[in-house]
Amino acid sequence: MSILVIAEHDNGSLKDETLNTVTAAVQIGGNVDLLLAGENCNAVAEQAAKISGVNRVLVADHSVYAHQLAENISLLVTELAADYSHVLAPATTNGKNFMPRVAATLDVSQISEITAVVSVDTFKRPIYAGNAIATVQSMDKVKVITVRATGFDAAACDGSATIESLDKVTDAGLSSFVKEELAQSDRPGLTSAKVIISGGRGMGNSSNFNLLEQVADKLGAAVGASRAAVDAGYAPNDMQVGQTGKIVAPDLYIAVGISGAIQHLAGMKDSKVIVAINKDEEAPIFQVADFGLVDDLFDAVPELAHSL
Amino acid sequence: MKVLVAVKRVIDYNIKVRVKSDQSGVDLTNVKMAMNPFCEIAVEEAVRLKEKGVADEVIVVSIGPKVAQEQIRTAMALGADRGILVETDEPLESLAIAKLLAKVVEVEQPDLVILGKQSIDADNNQTGQMLGTLAGMSQGTFASEINVGENCVEVTREIDGGLQTLSLNLPAIITTDLRLNEPRYASLPNIMKAKRKPLDVKTPADFGVNVISGLKTLLVESPQERSAGVLVGSVGELVEKLKNEAKVI
Amino acid sequence: MDFSLNDIQQMMQDSAAKFIQNDYDFETRRGLSNSPAGYSEDNWKLFAELGWLALPIKEPYGGLDGDLVDTMVLQQEFGKGLLVEPYYATVLLGANLIQKQANDAQKLELLEQVVAGELKLALAHSEAQAAFDVSQTKTRAEKQGDQYVLNGHKAVVLGAESADYLLVPARTSGAVGDAEGITLFLIDPKSAGVQLRGYATNDGLRAADVGLTEVTVPASSILGQADSAAPAIELVLNEAIVALGAEAVGIMEKLLAATSEYIKTRQQFDQPISRFQVLQHRLADMFMETEQAKSMVYFAAMEVAKGGPEASRVASMLKVKIGSAGRLVGQQAVQLHGGMGITDELDVGHFFKRLTCINNQLGSRDYHLQSLINKAAAG
């Protein structure tokens, strides 16, 4: 049995979700290879080779893979899949984009966003926004799986895999890259941060998010937002934590002025420790919080920043 | 141009789901059903394309039980021109749905297919992409903006960390994200008109599609409840507990 | 009897429910209620676009020819949002009365404007001694040549301040208590001699007391025929009772859901309070009253439209049921929420206030109970 894991990266560095996905692959068992498709991504290959549990890093380095266009990547993965029993990718927007194409071409079902491995062919995955957990078994010849990073620990980085380059160039010629606007930040990304501090509608306006940034600076935390805060225009879309935003599970999640709508809880309830700061003691967020502080956030948050 | 929109009948998004006691699935008896919210956004986008004069026909298709006609009628009340129901009482997996949609695409030859990025029941996020590959089309998933040009469509996508813009050759598949638009409410005159719009009913057998799935759901259970923790009296106490008790800072 | 909604009603219900859910949460509603106008003009335009203003109006006047059941469906959803827009005043009272009383030219002119959202109306029928029975109207209109001169006082006229026209019933012949002799006037509230004293009602709507002092209007401002308006007014008020009943049922459903959710989450003695049998009994009572009220509304929606004496009797029965059910459901909802139930921040108390005001609109429970007793005694 051998497993192909598709690496998530930006041509410059490997994304942490790859490490969690490798852990899922190792739990399934067997030989694990990592596919790295990109352009000028040698540095990433070096990083990837250090992931424990990975046997070979297969590098497809070509301009057609530069922007992870689903049509091109899925053709490449489909060609390679013949040699594998499982194909895994992180359930990032990227993995979600190309993996169903791989599954459809192979004429198999995809198992989306698994959070646990039960056996080689059986997995757990959340449905109904995490309000139910399904255990599903796949009878397909190749198991095409996306992995929710928060369900698995990150693999260690003390391995030494061999790096092999592939000369396959698969260009579907169906789409082309126009531009990308990525948020520039010195802070860790939401999905990989160990600590997250998020603000809700209670923040009142966008400039009050500065208060959260002061705490985030002290803790090396990422800053998130609830959908209510995003909808109110206090924070940009890519900061949204929740069912329709990012699914996160940091060691510490601090929810500030967030009431705790089911939609939001679905995105953060697997965090190890949850802190809620809200002046409404009836707010549902307190039902999932390990530590709750009933207080005006405009008093509590500056004090928190000060005392760290 | 011709736009095809696929819609799914799902549990109303305001309903809190309950897992059945025999753990065979989620209890759907007497539960209010509605159009999947992402599909509603897809319908709205197609109708806006028509209002802008970009599209001249909007066809809505659903695959599901007879009652899914309600969702097709709703889509027609929002402005779609005609409907197709592929009627089946079997709950189908994304792959089977994508295969059936590919057949509909073959018949209808749309220039653009718009779907929701995921359904709020199975949360799979697969069908659009699968249809893309089966129909040999390019795809723009998680769209937050669409601009149709000559023989191509520019799609801005919500990706991790920001936005990406792609140019897709037509015909293309687009899946909608939450912020693409805000769907309108169906007006009464349009609801009445919808009643008279044509709705074709087909079956999977009509298309000769094998809908057997390689997946089996063994068990559906409730997620582990988080137990409520403690209330602290001050920021000082909070910091102390995070440091010494939880040891996370 | 088949009580299920047809496809169109179902979709209309979905559409209205979605509007209330997405664009009419409690805080939004509070803001509108506290604004100078007391409602949103943008919402009014939206209602026009959605065809809601056209619902009960006949096709020749730009309407959609909906029946009382259609109105019921919409009102039930409006109840869940405690709608403050003057839909009831303009469409269900004003436009409906024009439709039933005015001549064709008047209908054409006025109703199309209502449908387009360009005209708002208020029915100034109630007087201190005549909340419901229009034959008790004391306001008089004296004919002087081609003109009429009105004098009198109207109480709690809903939507009067936002109305472009008031529909004013006044006695032109006969004595107080006579069925004949009531004439309906269309009066611009800016006319000389019309004084509006506006205020917010307990349920957050806007109303006004209207004084009429030597208000002089041409004979052409009579809607339909002189002396003949009472039967049409009676029918419109009976239909309005059905609409109020539907609104009340929407409110009761909302209170039932909110209370049920609350007692399942509120913990006391280390368990949700819904585990306590006494509270379960109370919730069961709320449920039964709501269902009975709903059945009564369905029945009335079908019977009242037929008109005649039976329509009045059924409307009275409905008003009695709504009064008692609304009181029980409202009180229990407040009590089961504990102290929070009466706070201004929580919506529960506001729903109860609306139920209480509904009871006092168009004749209270006691009034209609007495009226039913009188009818039964008269054989």
Pairing of strands B152-159, B138-148: antiparallel
- In chain B, residues 57-96 whose CB comes closer than 8 Å to chain C: 70, 73-74, 77
Cα–Cα distance between A39 and C299 in angstroms, integer? 72
pTM for this entry:
0.89
Name every chain B residue with its beta carbon within 8 A of the beta carbon of A307: 235-236, 239
Cα–Cα distance between C231 and C350 in angstroms, integer? 34
Say which residue the tokens 């696929």 belong to. Answer: B6
Helix (H) or strand (E) holding B220: strand B215-221
Cα–Cα distance between A74 and A89 in angstroms, integer? 11
Domain residue spans in chain C?
A: 7-119, 122-227, 231-377
pLDDT tens column, B108-162: 999 999 999 999 999 999 999 999 999 999 999 999 999 999 899 999 999 988 8
Pairing of strands A122-127, A116-119: antiparallel
- Partnered with residue A38 across adjacent β-strands are A61
**Are the C-beta atoms of A27 and A56 separated by less than 8 Å?**
no
Cα–Cα distance between C266 and C339 in angstroms, integer? 13
Q: Which residues contact B89 (CB under 8 A, 6 or more apart)?
A: B65
Strand stretches in B96-186, DSSP E: 112-116, 138-148, 152-159, 162-169, 172-176
Say which residue the tokens 């449920």 belong to. Answer: C287
Whether the CB of C6 is below 8 Å from some CB of chain B: the reply is no
State phi, psi for A190 to the nearest 5 degrees.
-60, -40
* Token output for C252: 């009761």
Task: Output the pLDDT for position C1.
Answer: 60
CATH says C231-377 is which class? mainly alpha
Query: Given an 8 Å threshold on Cβ–Cβ distance, is C15 in contact with B195?
Result: no
CATH of C122-227, one of 2.70.98.60, 2.60.34.10, 2.60.40.1120, 2.40.110.10: 2.40.110.10
Say which residue the tokens 């209890």 belong to. Answer: B27
Task: Sketch out chain B's domains with CATH numbers.
Answer: 2-223 (3.40.50.620)
Three-class SS state of B19: strand
Q: CB-CB: which of C7, C46, C51 is closest to B188?
A: C51
Say which residue the tokens 């205020």 belong to. Answer: C199
Query: Rounded to a whole number, what is the distance in Å from the CA of A282 to chain C's nearest CA?
Result: 9
Task: Band the pLDDT of B224: cuts 50, 70, 90.
Answer: confident
B31: left (phi over 0), alpha (psi -120 to 50) or beta: beta
pLDDT tens column, C277-326: 999 999 999 999 999 999 999 999 999 988 778 999 999 999 999 999 99
Query: Given an 8 Å threshold on Cβ–Cβ distance, is B191 in contact with C15?
Result: yes
Task: Output the pLDDT for position B229.
Answer: 84
Cα–Cα distance between A170 and A231 in angstroms, integer? 40
Query: Given an 8 Å threshold on Cβ–Cβ distance, is B189 in contact with C51?
Result: yes
State phi, psi for B207 to the nearest 5 degrees.
-100, -5
pLDDT tens column, B26-80: 999 989 999 999 999 999 999 999 999 999 999 999 999 999 999 999 999 999 9
Query: Given an 8 Å threshold on Cβ–Cβ distance, is C7 in contact with B70?
Result: yes
Cα–Cα distance between A248 and C156 in angstroms, integer? 55
Cα–Cα distance between C187 and C181 in angstroms, integer? 18
Name every chain A residue with its beta carbon within 8 A of the beta carbon of B158: 93, 237-238
Chain B nearest-CA residue for A132: B222
Instruction: Give chain A's end-to-end CA distance (angstroms, integer).
Output: 49
Query: Given an 8 Å threshold on Cβ–Cβ distance, is B228 in contact with A286?
Result: yes
Sign of CA dihedral C302, C307, C311, C316: positive
State phi, psi for B140 to the nearest 5 degrees.
-130, 100
The angle, 0 to 180 degrees and rounded to 10, between the axes of the packed helices B69-77 and C7-23 is 70
Chain A nearest-CA residue for B238: A291
Q: What is the 3-state secondary structure (H, E, C) of chain A?
A: CEEEEECCECCCCECCHHHHHHHHHHHHCCEEEEEEEECCCHHHHHHHHCCCCCCEEEEEECHHHCCCCHHHHHHHHHHHHCCCCEEEEECCHHHHHHHHHHHHHHCCCEEEEECEEEECCEEEEEEHHHCEEEEEEECCCCEEEEECHHHCCCCCCCCCCEEEEECCCCCCCCEEEEEEEECCCCCCCCCCCCEEEEECHHHCCCCCHHHHHHHHHHHCCEEEECHHHHHCCCCCHHHEECCCCECCCCCEEEEECCCCCHHHHHHHCCCCEEEEEECCCCCHHHHCCCEEEECCHHHHHHHHHHHC
Residues in chain A: 308
Fold of C7-119: Butyryl-Coa Dehydrogenase, subunit A; domain 1 (1.10.540)
Task: Output the pLDDT for position B14.
Answer: 83
Residue to test with chain C: of B41, B191, B196, B199, most C Cβ within 10 A: B191
Q: Over its length of 308 residues, how does chain A's per-residue pLDDT go in tens digits?
A: 899 999 999 999 999 999 999 999 999 999 999 999 999 999 999 999 999 999 999 999 999 999 999 999 999 999 999 999 999 999 999 999 999 999 999 999 999 999 999 999 999 999 998 889 999 999 999 999 999 998 999 999 999 999 999 998 999 989 999 999 987 777 888 888 899 999 999 999 999 999 999 999 999 999 999 998 998 889 988 899 987 788 898 999 999 999 988 889 889 988 999 999 999 888 889 989 999 999 999 999 999 999 98
ipTM surpasses cut 0.85: yes
Q: Which residues contact A144 (CB under 8 A, 6 or more apart)?
A: A81, A86, A87, A99, A102, A103, A106, A108, A109, A110, A111
Query: Given an 8 Å threshold on Cβ–Cβ distance, is B215 in contact with A99?
Result: no
Cα–Cα distance between B166 and A68 in angstroms, integer? 11
The angle, 0 to 180 degrees and rounded to 10, between the axes of the packed helices C68-81 and C277-303 is 150
Q: Which residues contact C291 (CB under 8 A, 6 or more apart)?
A: none
- In chain B, residues 33-62 whose CB comes closer than 8 Å to chain A: none
Query: Given an 8 Å threshold on Cβ–Cβ distance, is B161 in contact with A70?
Result: no
**Are the C-beta atoms of A222 and A188 separated by less than 8 Å?**
yes
Average confidence (pLDDT) per 10 residues, chain C, 379 residues: 82 94 92 95 97 96 95 97 98 98 96 97 93 91 96 97 98 93 97 97 96 97 96 96 98 96 85 91 97 96 87 96 97 91 89 97 95 90
Say which residue the tokens 């280390």 belong to. Answer: C270
Cβ contacts below 8 Å, chain A against chain C, sum to: 3
**Closest of C324, C231, C300, C266 to residue C1, by C-alpha:** C300
Cα–Cα distance between A247 and A125 in angstroms, integer? 13
Name every chain C residue with its beta carbon within 8 A of the beta carbon of B9: none
Amino acid, res. C151? N
Cα–Cα distance between A279 and A298 in angstroms, integer? 10
Query: Rounded to a whole number, what is the distance in Å from the CA of B126 to chain C's nearest CA?
Result: 27
Distances (CA, A) of C275 to B17, C184, C260, C339: 21, 57, 11, 20
Cα–Cα distance between C55 and C35 in angstroms, integer? 27
Cα–Cα distance between B187 and B183 in angstroms, integer? 12
Instruction: Give chain B's end-to-end CA distance (angstroms, integer).
Output: 58
Radius of gyration (C-alpha) of chain B in whole angstroms: 21
Mean pLDDT of all residues belonging to chain B: 94
